[in-house]
Amino acid sequence: MPTQAPTGSFPTRPIVVVCRPFDENSGGQIVLHALIDRMRSLGVDAYASQPCKTYRSLRPAWLGALKRWNYRRKLPEFFAHESMDVPMASDAVLDDAIVVYPETVRGNPLEAERVVRWLLNRPGLLGGNETLDPSEEVFFYQEAFAEGVASVSPDRLLRVRWLREDVYRDENRSRSGSCRMIRKGTDTLSQIPEGDRAIPLDGLSHQEIAEVFNKTEVFYCHDLYTMYAYYAALAGCVPVVVPRPGLSAEDWRDGFELKHGVAYGE
C-alpha cells in the first residue's frame, strides 16, 4: 500500500515510536505503525513501544525494574498488522533511542533524552499537552494540526499513508440514501437534521463501511480530516464534510491533504 515519507540522511541512534496495538479503525495507530514499517524498509533502526513509565530515575535500580515490570504486565498485548514490520523495543534500545510521541501522549513517560513530537491532530484536542515543550523536535501530519504553534517550522511535514484500497472500491451498484460518521466531529452534532435517516457508520469495520459506501449516494462526515472521506470517494459515495462553525472552506482545504472529490458543506 502506498506511503509518503521524507527522504534524507538516517540517524545513527535507534528510533522508537510510541504507539498502542494495531487498530484498523484508529487512523493515529495506523500511521504510527506505518511510520515504523516505512523507516525499517529504508534501513532505519526503528521500533515500537507502548506508552508506559520506565522508572529509570528510581533508586535502587532493582526497585525501578520491579515497578517497570509491574506496569508493563498490565498493558494490553502488543501486536502489529501482518503486513508490517513493527518490532518492540528492548530496554537496551530505549536507553539510547530517539523517541517519537504522538501529541496525545502527555509529557515524556519514557524519560528519553531526545524527543520528537508528531502532531496527528491539534495539540491538546484529544489529550496530551496543549503547550509543546520547546526542547522537542516537532513534526505535523497536516498543516492544520500545527496552526498557531509558533515553534513549528512549516517544513516539518511528516506524512505516511497506509491506504485500504484493497477494501474500498466502487462496485457499480444501485444507490440510495446516505450514511453518516461522527468520530472526532462531536462539535457539529447540532447540524444533524431532525428525523435523520442516514446509516450510522461509527464502530463498524472497514469491510462493513465499504459495504454501506457502495449502496448509498452521500456520506456525511463530521470529522474534518479523516481518511474515510477519501475512502467514500473511492467507493463512489459522495463525501460531504459537515462544516465547523468559524472554519471557512478555504481554511479547511488548506489543511486537508486528500481534498479532491470531497465537498465541504452542501
Query: 159: closest CA among 75, 38, 20, 19?
Result: 38
Per-residue confidence (pLDDT) for residue 261, from 0 to 100: 73
Spatial distance between the Cα atoms of 121 and 109, rounded to a whole number of angstroms = 20
Per-residue confidence (pLDDT) for residue 54, from 0 to 100: 61
Per-residue confidence (pLDDT) for residue 2, from 0 to 100: 43
Per-residue confidence (pLDDT) for residue 202, from 0 to 100: 95
HSE-CB of 234 using CA atoms within 13 angstroms = 17
Cell 533508586 identifies what position? 59
Written as nine digits, the cell of 109 is 513517560
Written as nine digits, the cell of 195 is 428525523
Mean pLDDT per block of 10 residues along the chain (266 residues) reads 50 92 90 96 95 69 68 75 93 92 92 94 86 92 84 87 88 97 93 96 95 98 90 95 86 66 81
Written as nine digits, the cell of 48 is 515500537
- 49 contacts 89 by C-beta, under 8 angstroms: yes
Give the SS3 label for residue 242.
coil
Per-residue confidence (pLDDT) for residue 232, from 0 to 100: 96
